[in-house]
Amino acid sequence: MAEFHTISPEQFDKSPFQTIGKDWLLVTAEKDGKVNTMTASWGGFGVMWGKNVAFIVVRPQRYTKEFLDAQPYFSLSVLGEPFRKELSYLGSVSGRDEDKIAKSGLTVAHEDNIPYFEQAKTVLICRKLYAQPYDPACFIEKELDSKWYPNQDYHTMYIAEIEKILIQ
Ligand SMILES: Cc1cc2nc3c(=O)[nH]c(=O)nc-3n(C[C@H](O)[C@H](O)[C@H](O)COP(=O)(O)O)c2cc1C
């Protein structure tokens, strides 16, 4: 069993650019006793409405979105370079089609009934505050719309309060 301890968001001293953009996140949630996860490399950490928050963006076709929308909590697990192969797999296959968590060899653990991965070096336990699909009318740089959304599958942005950070 991995030994995690809790730190406050103020003690979290890792670059979000490295953590999200380079290490990548596993966005994980549970619905009706089943867990699903997907890799994400877009998002942010910051402060909103006086709270420490994480935001992520999820396209409508992701199976994980059904899990995110089903209940108030999700986790973000940061595994990094040693697990690049598993992260790539979990980010290219849908949980609709395969039992991808079992096939990945990663181990699901729970903190306050929220699923995360035991192999993570950092885990953020997040409580949803706000969710909104991106609106094409709101793009100031219009090229972003045509570049990233040729199929109009606009991401939903989730802003969530970081309730707990676990590190190994
Ligand atoms: C490096 C990487 C980053 C990704 N980032 C995102 C993201 O931020 N948002 C998103 O909707 N999909 C993202 N994906 C795609 C999903 O992880 C992928 O479609 C996954 O298979 C969805 O699984 P699911 O259908 O089980 O939810 C990313 C994939 C990779 C490999």
pLDDT tens, residue by residue, 125-154: 999 999 999 999 999 999 999 999 999 999
- Rounded to 10 degrees, the C-alpha dihedral 54/57/58/60 comes to 130
Is the Cβ atom of 59 under 6 angstroms away from ligand 1?
yes
Percent of the chain with pLDDT over 70: 99
Q: How confident is the model at residue 108 (pLDDT cuts 50, 70, 90)?
A: very high
What confidence score (pLDDT) does residue 1 get? 66
Measured from the Cα of 88, ligand 1's closest atom is 31
Q: Which residues contact 112 (CB under 8 A, 6 or more apart)?
A: 73, 125, 164
Ligand 1 centroid – CA 89 distance (Å): 10
39, 85, 86, best to mutate for ligand 1 pocket (most atoms within 8 Å of CB): 39
Closest CA to 87 of 119, 123, 46, 122: 119
Q: Distances from the Cα of 33 to the Cαs of 7, 115, 131, 132, in angstroms? A: 28, 10, 23, 26
- The mean pLDDT value for 87-108 works out to 98
The neighbour count for residue 45, using CB atoms within 10 Å, is 19
Mean pLDDT calculated for residue range 34-47: 98
Q: What is the mean pLDDT of residues 76-84?
A: 98
Domains identified in the chain and CATH numbers: 7-167 (2.30.110.10)
**Protein residue with least CA distance to atom 8, ligand 1:** 40
Give the separation between CA 21 and CA 104, rounded to whole angstroms. Answer: 21
